[in-house]
């Protein structure tokens, strides 16, 4: 049987060194992939505040810790390992994850997860299922330097003392001239947007009308529309498999067809 994306030329803009799961899914579906690192994930310029927060977390000073990305999981577990904090999260601290991919990264790191929203993928969804605070409850939110205030604000309104700390920096890389020209000319049959930061990297690039544009979740879709891009489909859940499933389903209904 012919793979569903056989002959499709797909651009995967991704963080440097990340995105292997999405690439694997696309390869299985038969796509011809161009993977372009448009963001770099870097440690904070000064890790002092993060270190103090992780020491306090290990000491049990927080009732909850909330992770809103896989990158936050990696940043915390790697830095905690450097500091000799094992485990990185105490057994009596409850752990929240924004979605399945983040929960899986935590589980892989040996950190049990207590709370995942059923329709995960956004800070608003996580805030919507987070229980109200008991007196004295505190939450640590290790996040990107570009993270929106949605979750900290919602948790403060629910009665928590919130410490939102920069665990990593998201550095947008410039799009090369060849890639930008290819996007404008319709050289790619599809572009898969995997985060609002990726959208920011493509903000000044016009995407050809024939190119199918997919977003991994509603926050990314909203960012793409705000940047003036059309979004043809949004993944049912924020995962690599769902994003590829969306391309398979949505791509065949798009007016563009790949020449076989």
Q: Rounded to whole angstroms, how far apart are CA atoms 95 and 139? A: 10
The alpha carbon dihedral of 168, 219, 211, 70 has a sign of positive
Segment 151-164, tens digit of pLDDT: 999 999 999 999 99
Cβ pair 79, 108 in contact under 8 A: no
Element (H, E) at 163: strand 161-172
* Maximum Cα–Cα distance across the chain: 63
pLDDT at residue 260, rounded to an integer: 36
CB atoms within 10 A of CB 2: 8
How many Cα atoms are found within 13 Å in the side-chain-facing hemisphere of 148?
13
CA 21 to chain centre: 13
Segment 250-259, tens digit of pLDDT: 765 554 444 4
Per-residue pLDDT of the chain (260 residues; tens, 9 = 90+): 789 999 999 999 876 566 688 999 999 999 999 999 888 889 999 999 999 999 999 999 999 999 999 999 999 999 999 999 999 999 999 999 998 889 999 999 999 999 999 876 788 899 999 999 999 999 999 999 988 899 999 999 999 999 999 999 988 888 889 999 999 999 999 999 998 889 988 988 999 999 999 999 888 999 999 999 999 999 988 888 999 999 999 765 554 444 43
pLDDT at residue 92, rounded to an integer: 96
Cβ pair 171, 39 in contact under 8 A: yes
Beta strands at 212-215 and 190-193: parallel, antiparallel or unpaired = parallel
The two tokens of residue 50 are 């993060």
Q: Which long-range contacts (CB under 8 A, 24 or more apart) does 178-183 make?
A: 179/11, 179/34, 179/36, 180/205, 182/11, 183/11, 183/207, 183/208, 183/211
pLDDT at residue 259, rounded to an integer: 44
Share of the chain above pLDDT 90, in %: 72
Q: Rounded to whole angstroms, how far apart are CA atoms 26 and 14? A: 14
Mark out the alpha helices in the chain (DSSP H runs): 20-28, 48-58, 70-83, 100-108, 123-129, 150-157, 177-185, 196-201, 218-226, 240-251
pLDDT at residue 39, rounded to an integer: 85
Domains and CATH numbers, the chain: 9-40+174-251 (3.40.50.10090), 48-170 (3.40.50.10090)
Beta strands at 161-172 and 32-42: parallel, antiparallel or unpaired = antiparallel
pLDDT at residue 15, rounded to an integer: 65
Enter the pTM of the model. 0.80
């Amino acid at each position: 049987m012919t793979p569903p994306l056989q002959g499709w030329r797909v651009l995967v803009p991704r963080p440097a060194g990340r995105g292997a799961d999405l690439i694997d899914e696309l390869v299985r579906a038969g796509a011809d992939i161009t993977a372009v690192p448009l963001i770099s994930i870097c440690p904070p310029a000064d890790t002092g505040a993060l270190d103090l927060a992780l020491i306090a977390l290990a000491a049990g000073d927080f009732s909850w810790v909330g992770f809103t990305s896989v990158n936050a999981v990696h940043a915390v577990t790697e830095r905690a390992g450097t500091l000799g904090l094992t485990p990185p999260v105490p057994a009596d601290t409850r752990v929240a994850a924004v979605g399945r991919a983040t929960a899986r990264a935590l589980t892989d790191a040996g950190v049990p997860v207590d709370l995942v929203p059923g329709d995960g993928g956004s800070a608003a969804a996580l805030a919507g299922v987070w229980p109200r605070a008991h007196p004295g409850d505190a939450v640590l939110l290790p996040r990107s330097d570009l993270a929106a205030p949605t979750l900290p604000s919602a948790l403060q309104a629910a009665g928590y003392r919130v410490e939102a700390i920069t665990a990593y920096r998201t550095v947008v890389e410039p799009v090369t001239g060849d890639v930008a020209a290819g996007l404008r000319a319709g050289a790619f049959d599809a572009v898969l947007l995997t985060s609002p930061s990726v959208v920011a990297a493509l903000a000044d690039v016009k995407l050809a009308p024939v190119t199918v544009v997919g977003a991994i979740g509603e926050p990314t879709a909203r960012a793409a529309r705000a940047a003036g891009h059309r979004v043809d489909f949004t993944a049912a859940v924020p995962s690599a498999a769902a994003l590829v499933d969306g391309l398979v389903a949505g791509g065949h209904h798009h007016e563009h067809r790949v020449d076989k």
